[in-house]
Structure 1
Amino acid sequence: MQRSELLIVFEKMYLQENDTKEKITIRVQLVFSLILALVAVSSYMLRMLDFTESKPVALSILVLVLVFLLCLGLSGVLAVRAFWGNTFKQMPAASEIKNYCNALVQYNLEVEAIKDSLDDGTQEVDIKSELDGYLSDAFEECATHNADVNFKRSTMVHQSFKWLLTSLIPLAISATLFVGLDMDVSSPRKNYQVIDKYVGDQLGKIDSSLSAMTESLKKLEGTKMSDPNTKKPASEQDSKAEPSPGPAKDVPMQMKPKLPDRPSVRISLEDSSGNWAEVKHDSGQE
């Protein structure tokens, strides 16, 4: 197989390993998302676990959740190792390859200039063949190294998925006990007495104030009833002193009320500048 053919093969392998690297990174990100979601579920169970309902069941759920977190921790460690700290080899920059090509051209010019004085058989190089050989060797080195790294990363991601699926077993059992036996302390089926200390203190103060006001009113009422000189209410005295109404007097004729004018309407027009102008209309006139 010629150098040009090997160059094409190694280049394709190099590009394939780069694609594999990105696919593995996406898989690792998926593992991280699942881990965060499962941690949120387990955190809710631990926070809302009711130890007063049934302590043996609550302790069983606690142990299962701890086993779940242990397996999930192993999965997270493997996922981090697959995501971080891996080194890949990349092809040299385009400017470096161009400089190498220019150096080969300069080498041929120097050999051409002094080829008559050289006795060791130094000859000009084939620039195309030399570049193909160089690129072929570079693609081969990068593709081989990246393939080894991707294989290790893929193995760690596979192990991470395995521990992630294993952690679902204790989580599923604990969730079944948590929901089936109603171990949620905030469950609406549980009738717990809710006591607000601040509201209770304020209600106590209001009750004390109302009691004091009631006692004051009772004392005041007793004082009025024991005093014989207590005056009757002014309404009763006025009712006795008020003379009987006489015949109705004629109400003087007042002027005929005048119907008020209707408010003028307003018209909003949009001028050419885009602003709104308001025009008031008087009664019957613009």
Structure 2
Amino acid sequence: MNLIYEKMYAYEERIKENISIKVQLLFTAIFLLVSVTVYLARFLDFSIKPGVAYVIVVFIVLVLMMTAISAYFNCKAFSGSEFNRMPYATKIQEYYEGQVQYNKEVEIYNASVSEDEAFTLIDPKNETEAFIGRALSACATHNALVNEKRSRLVFKAFVCCLLSCVPLVLASFIFVAYDMDTSSPRKEFSIRDRHVAAQLARLTEEVAARSASSTVTALENRTTLLEQALIHKPDETMTKPEKADAAESKPKPEPPTKPSAPLSRMTYDDASGASSRSSK
């Protein structure tokens, strides 16, 4: 019988491990459902079709409610269960040695009393095997009851998780069919990043301030040039009339006379070689 009890105990241990694996898988499924639901809620657009958006909100609420119930049952199946375990091997060895010592004490006691008052010796091996059989039977029975309870909780959690997929699928279909995503590239607007917008506004102000300062500097330079031009222009206008007046006050020179041609001269030669010239 101990062999049968041992197999039943090991079977319940495997059932316990399988249930733990199912619980972990359900936690993963719940996390995925919540992630998709949060995405739908986060990027849901209310500006274009608010009626459709409110329908999606109703489905989102249903999904969150069902996933919350599923997580509650799954948490109860995951924790709070107590399983019976076999005693430690050292404890069983101590129990066996205690029976051997008991037989020794019984022999000493029986030697000092009559047969009517004597105690019967026990078989330590049979007693230990019987104890192990009782322990295995009690542990296997208790663990089976606990596994049945956990299985029912896991089943409820799985049903709630499966039911939450129905409104999630409907919400996702409507979300995609009506293009309710605020970050969709087909929308004429995009999500506004406040930090980026603030940086752009600050950069625009700096560019405007620099351009304004450069414009003011250019205007000042032009004004300076005009002032300098106006300062030097009257001097030129004043000097020109003075030159004209000076030219008018100066007397005109006499007109030049054409020079006349020189007169011809007759030359006479004397005997001495001197020449006497006379002009006619």
Q: Which runs of 4+ in 1 moved over 6 A?
A: none
Matched, 1:68 2:69: no
2:51 to 37, 56, 59: 56
What number of residue pairs does the alignment pair up? 225
Q: Which residue of 1 aligns with 2:278?
A: none
Q: Which residue of 2 aligns with 1:168?
A: 165
Q: Which residue of 1 aligns with 2:208?
A: 207
Tell whether the 8 Å contact from 2:110 to 2:117 is kept in structure 1 after alignment. Answer: no
Structure 1 residue 131 displacement after superposition: 1.1
C-alpha separation between the residues in 1 aligned to 2:223 and 2:77? 90
C-alpha separation between the residues in 2 aligned to 1:207 and 1:48? 35
Structure 1 residue 221 displacement after superposition: 2.5
Write the deviation string for residues 214-237 of structure 1: whole angstroms up to 9, x where unpaired.
24313422432553549xxxxxxx
Q: Which residue of 2 aligns with 1:44?
A: 39
C-alpha separation between the residues in 2 aligned to 1:225 and 1:204? 31
Q: Which residue of 1 aligns with 2:5?
A: 10
Matched, 1:134 2:131: yes
Whose radius of gyration is greater, 1 or 2? 2
C-alpha separation between the residues in 1 aligned to 2:99 and 2:188? 88
Matched, 1:181 2:181: no
Matched, 1:21 2:16: yes
SS of structure 1 residue aligned to 2:61: helix
Residue type at the aligned position of 1:148 = L
Q: Which residue of 1 aligns with 2:154?
A: 157
Structure 1 residue 208 displacement after superposition: 3.5
Residue type at the aligned position of 1:10 = Y
Residue type at the aligned position of 1:71 = M
Structure 1 residue 39 displacement after superposition: 0.9
Structure 1 residue 11 displacement after superposition: 0.9
C-alpha separation between the residues in 1 aligned to 2:30 and 2:189? 34
C-alpha separation between the residues in 2 aligned to 1:212 and 1:14? 89
Unaligned runs of 5+ in 2: 234-280
2:108 to 107, 110, 113: 113
Write the deviation string for residues 4-53 of structure 1: whole angstroms up to 9, x where unpaired.
xx111101111111111111111101111111111111111111111112
The structure in which a higher percent of residues are helix is: 2
Residue type at the aligned position of 1:136 = G
Write the deviation string for residues 103-131 of structure 1: whole angstroms up to 9, x where unpaired.
10011111222324242452211122111
C-alpha separation between the residues in 1 aligned to 2:228 and 2:6? 117
- Percent identity, aligned pairs only, is 35
Structure 1 residue 83 displacement after superposition: 0.8
Write the deviation string for residues 175-233 of structure 1: whole angstroms up to 9, x where unpaired.
11112211111111112165813422431342243134224313422432553549xxx
Residue type at the aligned position of 1:176 = F
Q: Which residue of 2 aligns with 1:91?
A: 86
Residue type at the aligned position of 2:92 = I
SS of structure 2 residue aligned to 1:122: coil
C-alpha separation between the residues in 2 aligned to 1:40 and 1:181? 21
Tell whether the 8 Å contact from 2:59 to 2:171 is kept in structure 1 after alignment. Answer: yes
What's the RMSD between the two structures over aligned residues? Answer: 1.9
